[in-house]
């Protein structure tokens, strides 16, 4: 199984495609460890786009 590349994006509510550290695209931003198969969370009560920045 090949890993998704760093920079892969996923939106709130989608299934996480790769375990690792994800960062919110835009400001304000945050990072969160999210495991593959989990739902991508909202941030600040809003739907956001997350970008994979580091593998777990």
Q: Model confidence over 1-56: pLDDT tens digits?
A: 689 999 999 999 999 999 999 999 999 999 999 999 999 999 999 999 999 999 99
**What residue numbers bound the domain in which 31 lies?**
9-55
Question: With the CA atoms of 21, 15, 13 and 48 taken in that order, what torsion angle do they form, in degrees rounded to the nearest 10?
Answer: 30
Please indicate, yes or no, if residue 4 is contained in any of the structural domains. no
pLDDT score, position 1:
67
Please indicate, yes or no, if residue 3 is contained in any of the structural domains. no
Domain tally, the chain:
1
From the list 39, 38, 4, 2, the residue with the least C-alpha distance to 18 is: 4
pLDDT score, position 26:
95
pLDDT score, position 6:
98
DSSP conformation class of 7: T
Please indicate, yes or no, if residue 1 is contained in any of the structural domains. no
pLDDT score, position 8:
98
């Amino acid at each position: 199984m090949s890993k998704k590349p760093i920079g892969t994006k996923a939106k709130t509510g989608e299934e996480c495609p790769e375990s690792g550290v994800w960062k919110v695209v835009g400001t304000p931003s945050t990072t969160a460890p999210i495991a593959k198969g989990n739902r991508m969370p909202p941030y600040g009560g809003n739907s956001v786009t997350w970008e994979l920045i580091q593998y777990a």
